[in-house]
């Protein structure tokens, strides 16, 4: 039961914090939360995701949370075998955030139907790494440690 709770709370917190991080980091460019959710849906639907209004945004938000729960599941299952992930959760969580960021950038997005060009500029990469460290990796790792106690 603790494993299920760690996955649930880790996925929920990472999904929520990562989406907020994306909204905050893109707000200065006028990108709305609706558009961010649609951009996630474009991984499935391509450019038509931006014409689907709230329906495609819902697909994007659902997909976003499924990815977050997937990331939490991978970490929590790994932590059951690799105990140092729990013993050093601050370091392993930060490193996991980096791994998740690069996995998304170099594997998931290139294999998807995204309707935008990836941005590998230094500011974009630095922001993405910070968001994934503090909003994805660390919450998942710290919740996994908390649930293991």
Q: pLDDT tens digit string along 74-109?
A: 999 999 999 999 999 999 999 999 999 999 999 999
In angstroms, the CA 61 to CA 53 distance is 12
Contact 111, 44 (CB under 8 A): no
Which region among 36-45, 81-90, 113-122, 128-137 has the lowest average model confidence (pLDDT)?
A: 113-122
Q: pLDDT tens digit string along 42-58?
A: 999 999 999 999 999 99
Q: How confident is the model at residue 149 (pLDDT cuts 50, 70, 90)?
A: low
Q: What is the DSSP string of 100-146?
A: HHHHIIIIIHHHS--SS-----HHHHHHHHHHHIIIIIHHHHHHHHH
Residue of 17, 6, 5 lying closest to 85 (CA atoms): 6
Confidence (pLDDT) at 83: 94
Residue of 145, 132, 133 lying closest to 22 (CA atoms): 132
CA 31 to centroid of chain Cα atoms: 18
């Amino acid at each position: 039961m603790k494993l299920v709770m760690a996955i649930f709370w880790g996925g929920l917190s990472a999904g929520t914090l990562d989406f907020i991080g994306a909204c905050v980091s893109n707000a200065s460019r006028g990108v709305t939360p609706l558009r961010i959710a649609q951009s996630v849906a474009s991984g499935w639907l391509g450019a038509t995701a931006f014409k689907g209004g709230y329906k495609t945004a819902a697909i994007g938000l659902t997909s976003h949370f499924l990815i977050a729960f997937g990331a939490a599941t991978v970490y929590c299952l790994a932590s059951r075998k690799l105990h140092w992930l729990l013993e050093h959760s601050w370091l392993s969580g930060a490193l996991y955030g980096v791994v998740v960021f690069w996995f998304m950038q170099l594997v998931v997005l290139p294999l998807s139907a995204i309707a935008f060009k990836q941005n590998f500029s230094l500011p974009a990469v630095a922001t993405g790494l910070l968001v994934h460290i503090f909003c994805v990796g660390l919450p998942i790792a710290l919740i996994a440690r908390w649930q293991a106690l």
